[in-house]
Amino acid sequence: MISLSGLLICLFLVYFALTAYMLLKPCVSFVSQDGKGKKLRFSTAPLTSGFIVSRIFWGVIGTTIIVFCLSLLLPLFWMLYTSFKTNNEYTISKFSLPKTWYSENYSIVLSKLYVQHAGKIYRLPAMLFNSIVYAGVSPFVSVFWVTLVAYVMARYPFKGNAFIYHLGIIIMMFPIVGNTASDMIFKQKIGLYDNMYLSILVPPATAFSGMYFLMLYGAFKGVPKAYSEAAKIDGANDYVVMFKVIIPLVLPTCATLYVLGFVAAWNAYESFLIWYPSTPNLGYGMWYFQHYAKTQGSSAVRTPTILAGFVICMIPSIALYLSSQKLITGKFTVGGLKG
């Protein structure tokens, strides 16, 4: 059976053979002869040092990109085919392809995936519902409020604008882990602790800071003010200009931030472990599932079974990215100026 290391060696050998061929091949041109066809002519010009250096440089760049892409894809590929292994087969060889595709691991995950908290057991349907609500609504609310703040900061100069902007930059420099204890006490006092549905509807306190704000602030700054002026000449008020003229121009940026927020919220088991223990999501369930396997030593729950659970959890994130890829990478062509 072909191992993963053998497959990698074959791929690198093929790549380096192609690189050597591109480096040493002679120049080829096609010339016409009396309109009766074409013949192949090889150039006898010697290879120059500049040509060799250029080929080596781009070969190194291409190799770096391929290695980086493989470092991202190979762990996913390994996780996928390892989830179809038996425990004995995984123990014997961790990187070889499975001899027989064992799908029972997924059945074990679906039957044993649960979270027990305060004497109550939460099964897969409840955790899936919490994941969909939190990952679907929370990034939308965050992107919505940050979009409004970034729009005002970028399009309307006012006293204190520069101060708020620089304050947001300073806040990004300080770690937020140190205020976890005080934040928990504060949320307990105002009723936000262990209340997922209310917490996701509350606007973020630092809507003027963070990566979302900087990306949207730069996007709004890049939109010419002539669009706003032309819309106001046609009778549009500030709300029409914002929601129907300017925001559609930065919609790909908003969609990108939403997808990134969805993936982060979908995998945020630590948020539910600390802040919302009574409404566990799938990420929390997988943490509990893996913790149970290590502490209890269950013979049915081993690494292939845990990886099968990870495969199930990552399906929605991949599906959302693939479905929104055109929106994220596309460009909107909007004309709003009179010539």
Output phi, psi for 33, to 5 deg: -130, 100
pTM of the model: 0.76
In tens, the pLDDT along 112-135 reads 888 888 888 888 889 999 999 999
Reported as a pLDDT band with limits 50, 70 and 90, residue 92 is: confident
pLDDT surpasses 50 at 188: yes
Instruction: Give the separation between CA 242 and CA 237, rounded to whole angstroms.
Output: 9
pLDDT surpasses 90 at 151: yes
Q: What is the mean pLDDT of the chain?
A: 79
Instruction: Give the separation between CA 287 and CA 277, rounded to whole angstroms.
Output: 12
Reported as a pLDDT band with limits 50, 70 and 90, residue 3 is: low
In tens, the pLDDT along 217-246 reads 988 998 888 988 898 988 889 899 999 999
Residue 140 confidence (pLDDT):
93
Domains of the chain with CATH codes: 1-18+48-82 (no CATH), 109-329 (1.10.3720.10)
Instruction: Give the separation between CA 36 and CA 25, rounded to whole angstroms.
Output: 27
pLDDT surpasses 50 at 13: yes
Q: Please choose, from the candidates 108, 138, 170, 135, the residue with its C-alpha nearest in 3D space to the C-alpha of residue 311.
A: 108
109 vs 301: which has the higher pLDDT: 109
